[in-house]
Amino acid sequence: MSFALATHTPAEMRTSEQAPHGGAWDDPPVQRIEVTNSGITVTTVTEPLVSVFGKEMRPGTTSIFQLSWSEISSTSLSATEFAPDNLRWVSLTVDTTWGEFSELPQEAEGFADAVRELTRRSRLAAPEVSTPGTFDELIWEAPALSR
């Protein structure tokens, strides 16, 4: 029995195209963020991983990370550019009071609404994510931590 190793760039692996072996790529998880009066909820859904033979190799999962406002220390919006292709990664980071964080990509469901609601609550202006360049801006901070 022999195996061949196919190499692909991460961008190629994230497309919905079929993999060279005829199966689909392992899709990244679907993330969702919701900002409510109670706090922030981050939901991550991972589809089951199925082999090219139709056998489930890993079950799908759903995780829900519910944080009350008293558990959140801050949220920030950032953009990073990667050379040489100037690929951009825009993300929203939710920091907890105990040191953990959750980072969501711009493609997450509810991303724009969450940024709008967080900046409304803090009365801070959000950076324009379509403007080229990098940034890392605080867009909401817990009242006890605010200056």
- In this predicted model, what pLDDT tens digit does every residue of 51-110 receive, in sequence order? 889 898 889 899 999 999 999 999 999 999 888 887 889 999 999 999 999 999 999 999
Q: Residue 61 contacts by C-beta under 8 Å, 6 or more apart in sequence?
A: 44, 45, 46
Report the 10 Å Cβ neighbour count for 37: 6
pTM: 0.74
For residue 102, give the nearest of 47, 48, 43 by alpha carbon. Answer: 43
Place of tokens 């409304």: 120
Place of tokens 């195209």: 17
Q: Give the Cα separation of 121 and 119 in Å (integer).
A: 5
pLDDT of residue 110: 97
pLDDT (average), residues 101-125: 94
pLDDT of residue 131: 80
